[in-house]
């Protein structure tokens, strides 16, 4: 049996590489004669640069930039010839903000602008932005400011950082933007398809996990609405209803407005880049997964993209997750089977599951192998 092991990262616990190696090790322990091939994936969030750098043999670069709440962080991106790939999570990610300090009214994407500028300094002509895992809800305003756009209030003063400040946005001046932007092709790997505004938009859907209260979500949705209004008036770009525009707190829409970017399903971009469809030919099954499988999984997350590719190839796909949000009569959705670590190890707390994720993934090898045998 040949099994491709293609999980995304288990956020806060394991990288995609760590998860893939642990699952593969567990399968080999349970079925020593099997071939278990680790092939970690990403959907534009944490791990994208590592996946692409490994697959393409690319060089990693480091740049010092502003973190989501100010202060300095060091972010990594990759370059291969005239192509660069950047993870916004490296400079503006949720994991960079302690849980008690999370506040999307104040967090900024300025650091991403510095990452982009550093890549442009190297002469690249194409940039892939991975925008999953953000701590921000500023619609890319901070990024735009770092790249020379001027966002100002009714008194002519520059807007301060954070999503809440957009309520006071009166105008956008693009006359001093970095001229290299117009000569660069930008593609955005989105991990969701949500629009920028409304009940399914950036603020209401993702704001709570970034620290927003119900009242904050209302405020932030209004603030992004103001940004969309001024962008359409001053830049001539309509962004309020773009599918994927709500990714990363409206950064998807902001990338269209300020960078002229195209938004693409992140997992599809990554699977193509790493040669996934060729790699699974002749495989008996594929195992994917991430930290949590829930209603958002089917809106562009990595495991769903892997399952779709497997279905087209006629190969069974199983999933492993730290936790699984199950709906009545939903079965395992796009997967032939699903293993939840929380259900498998009920004696462990969430904190213990996260800290012991590597060991748990190894220990489910026998159960996962039996499920594979049942569907292969």
pLDDT digits (tens, 9 = 90+) for 192-224: 889 999 999 999 999 999 999 999 999 999 999
**Cβ–Cβ < 8 Å for 332, 351:** no
Q: What is the mean pLDDT of residues 89-93?
A: 94
Which band of pLDDT confidence, cut at 50, 70 and 90, is reported for residue 327?
A: very low
pLDDT at residue 224 in the model = 98
* Together in a domain, 201 and 320: no
Q: What is the pLDDT of residue 136?
A: 98
Contact 221, 204 (CB under 8 A): yes
Question: Rounded to an integer, what distance in angstroms lies between the CA atom of residue 171 and that of residue 143?
Answer: 16
Q: Buried (b) or exposed (e) across 159-171, using 16+ Cβ within 10 A?
A: bebbbbbbbbbee
CATH number at residue 52: 3.90.1510.10
Instruction: Name the domain count of the chain.
Output: 2
Specify if 178 maps to a domain: yes
Longest Cα–Cα distance in the chain = 71
Residues 295, 256 within the same domain: no
pLDDT at 12: 78
Instruction: Kindly indicate the confidence band of residue 299, based on its pLDDT and cuts at 50, 70 and 90.
Output: low
368 and 296 within one domain:
yes
Residue 309 is predicted with a pLDDT of 94
pLDDT per residue over 36-64, tens digit each?
A: 999 999 888 888 998 899 888 899 999 99
What are the pLDDT digits (tens) for 167-186?
A: 999 999 999 999 999 999 99
364 shares its domain with 282 = yes
Classify residue 245: in a domain, yes or no.
Answer: yes
- Please provide the size of the chain in residues: 376
Domain limit, last residue, from 267, 298, 323:
267
State whether 148 and 198 are in the same domain. Answer: yes
The region, left, alpha or beta by phi > 0 then psi within -120 to 50, assigned to residue 85 is beta
Closest CA to 48 of 129, 147, 145, 169: 129
Query: What pLDDT is attached to residue 298?
Result: 66
pLDDT tens column, 99-122:
899 999 999 999 999 999 999 999
Specify whether 214 is located in the same domain as 242: yes
Question: Is 125 within 8 Å of 184 (Cβ atoms)?
Answer: yes
Give the mean model confidence (pLDDT) for residues 342-348. 95
What's the pLDDT at 294?
81
- Does the pLDDT of residue 328 top 50, yes or no? no
- The pLDDT tens digits for 11-30 are 878 999 999 999 999 999 99
Residues 101 and 160 in one domain: yes
Q: How far apart, in Å, do the first and last CA atoms of the chain sit? A: 9
Q: What is the pLDDT of residue 191?
A: 76
Pair 127, 11 in one domain: no
The answer to whether 62 touches 68, Cβ cutoff 8 Å, is: no
Choice among 6-20, 262-276, 284-298, 326-340 with the minimum mean pLDDT:
326-340
- Are 123 and 25 in a shared domain? no
Closest CA to 133 of 62, 187, 209: 209
Task: State yes or no: pLDDT of 273 exceeds 90.
Answer: no
Please tell me the predicted confidence (pLDDT) of residue 300: 63
Q: 339: domain CATH number?
A: 3.40.50.10350
Q: Does 60 lie in the same domain as 137?
A: yes
Q: What percent of the chain has pLDDT over 70?
A: 96
Both tokens of 107, joined, read 């967090």
What pLDDT digit, counting tens, does each position of 223-267 carry?
999 999 999 999 999 999 999 999 999 999 999 999 999 999 888
For 139-169, the pLDDT digits (tens) are 999 999 999 999 999 999 999 999 999 999 9
**Could you tell me the residue range of the domain that residue 83 belongs to?**
48-267
pLDDT for res 276 = 94
Mean pLDDT of the chain: 93
Judgement on whether residues 20 and 85 belong to the same structural domain of the protein: no
* Best CA proximity match to 45, nearest among 218, 296, 359, 278: 296
- Domain final residue, candidates 246, 267, 288: 267
- Do residues 10 and 41 make contact, with C-beta atoms less than 8 angstroms apart? no
Answer yes or no: is pLDDT of 329 > 70. no
Asked which of 244, 267, 290 is the last residue of a domain, the reply is 267
User: Going by C-beta distance under 8 Å and a sequence separation of 6 or more, which residues neighbour residue 298?
Assistant: 304, 333, 334
Give the residue ranges of DSSP H helices in the chain.
Answer: 16-30, 48-56, 89-92, 110-121, 141-146, 202-206, 214-234, 247-259, 266-273, 276-279, 302-313, 341-344, 350-355, 357-363, 365-375
Q: Is residue 272 part of a domain?
A: no
Do 160 and 183 belong to one domain?
yes
């Amino acid at each position: 049996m040949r099994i491709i092991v293609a999980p995304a990262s288990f956020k806060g616990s394991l990288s995609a590489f760590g998860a893939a190696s642990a699952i593969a090790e567990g399968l080999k322990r349970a079925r020593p004669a099997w071939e278990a091939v680790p092939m970690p994936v990403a959907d534009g969030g944490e791990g994208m640069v590592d996946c692409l750098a490994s697959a393409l043999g690319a060089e990693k670069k480091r740049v010092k930039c502003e973190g989501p709440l100010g202060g300095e962080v060091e972010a990594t991106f990759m370059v291969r010839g005239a192509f660069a790939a950047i993870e916004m999570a490296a400079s503006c990610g949720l994991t960079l903000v302690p849980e008690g300090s999370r506040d999307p009214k104040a967090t900024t994407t300025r650091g991403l602008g510095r990452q982009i500028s550093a890549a442009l300094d190297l002469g690249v002509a194409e940039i892939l932005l991975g925008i999953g895992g953000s701590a921000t809800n500023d619609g890319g305003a901070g990024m735009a400011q770092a790249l020379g756009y001027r966002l100002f209030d009714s008194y002519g003063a520059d807007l301060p950082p954070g999503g809440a400040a957009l309520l006071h946005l009166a105008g956008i001046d693009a006359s001093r933007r970095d001229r290299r932007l117009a000569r660069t092709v930008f593609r955005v790997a989105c991990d969701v398809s949500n629009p920028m505004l409304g009940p399914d938009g950036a603020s209401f859907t993702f704001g709570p996990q970034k620290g927003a209260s119900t009242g904050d979500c209302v405020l932030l949705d209004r603030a992004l609405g103001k940004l969309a209004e001024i962008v359409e008036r001053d830049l001539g770009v309509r962004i309020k209803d773009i599918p994927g525009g709500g990714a990363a707190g409206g950064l998807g829409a902001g990338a269209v407005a300020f960078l002229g970017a195209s938004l693409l399903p992140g997992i599809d971009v990554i699977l193509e880049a790493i040669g996934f469809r060729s790699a699974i030919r002749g495989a008996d099954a594929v195992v994917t997964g991430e930290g949590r499988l829930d209603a958002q999984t089917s809106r562009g997350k990595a495991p769903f993209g892997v399952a779709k590719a497997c279905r087209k190839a006629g190969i069974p796909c199983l999933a492993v997750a730290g936790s699984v949000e199950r709906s009545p009569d939903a079965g395992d959705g796009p997967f032939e089977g699903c293993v939840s670590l929380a259900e498998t190890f009920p004696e462990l707390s969430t904190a213990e599951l996260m800290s012991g994720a590597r060991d748990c993934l190894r220990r489910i090898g026998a159960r996962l192998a039996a499920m594979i045998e049942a569907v292969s």
